[in-house]
Structure 1
Amino acid sequence: MVVTIEIRKMYRYPFERVVDMHLNKYPTPLENHIRDIKTVEEKKDISGIIYRRRIATCNNVLPNILQKVNLMNVDDVYMEEESWLDGKQKTMNIQSRCLTWSQYATLQEVSIFTESTANPNWTEFRQMGSISVTGVGRLNRLFEIFAQSFFSRGIKKSVQVMEVILEQRYGHPCS
């Protein structure tokens, strides 16, 4: 079974500020599960699109009962994020996936930042995620239920962190 989640958010800040915050928000004391992010590849093509590939080191947040499955009992969980930033078109597309348990589960996110058509000082954000667990036998559904709940909370937390950091750095949002 594949579990999907989608969120939409309008940040009342200009595109450049929101994208800058996304690229620089972690690590932060506002989110203690993401300990480090390293850019492992960055390049700019002839049209000006900047490609980045980053690896995040996260805490293993699986409940202790799920970590009793030996394969899930790891300290570090690694996530890969690939992004394509088009400053001219004011869009940034992101694809993220979990590297740690890829032989047992597929966790993917697609995120899109665009300048708002309603107000050029605002930024539209959309994120779609999917989770499918296939490699742990009868526990597949249990892992999917946990992943759906954690993923949903994680998306909301990420949006909240962005809002707090944007307000701390730039003040109250634009009207």
Structure 2
Amino acid sequence: MTRRADTALIALRQILHATGMNARALARRTGLTAAQLLVLQVVAETESTTPKEVARRTGVSQATITSLVDKLEARGYVTRQRGQQDRRLILIVATMAGRALLKTAPDPQRDAFVRRFEAMADWEQSMLIAALERLGGLLDAEDVEALPVPEEGVAGRH
């Protein structure tokens, strides 16, 4: 292996370690995984939404969303309700407990990243995105289901 490849792998491991530590810290503070927090945030952004819409907005399969919603419902953070006009339609609604949890779930790593990334010149941002996409290709990660990061600077603070 070349010295540059070693350097790249070390940097990648540091990034993975830092994001893992952040995910564990969020889980300790909230009792939820980053994926569960993201789904809760997406649900809380509307009065009610469908599993299909949550899957579309997060970019993961509807089966994954069903599993995450099951866990959130078991903890009392969301409920499932039948549609008023179409009783076949299942809607997901964030509970008061779910909304309260989101207000106390900061994500300092994401906040710092966004602040620093947005301070970069446009060309630097484009180069970094291209490099990350290329890295994903090197790792055969193009087809790996991954949750996007929350849109807000805090996991669901509204």
Settle same-fold status: TM greater than 0.5. no
Q: Which has the larger radius of gyration?
A: 2
- Which structure dedicates a bigger proportion of its chain to helix? 2
Query: For this structure pair, what is the TM-score category when the shorter chain's length is used for normalisation?
Result: under 0.3
The TM-score with structure 2 as length reference comes to 0.28
- Which structure dedicates a bigger proportion of its chain to strand? 1
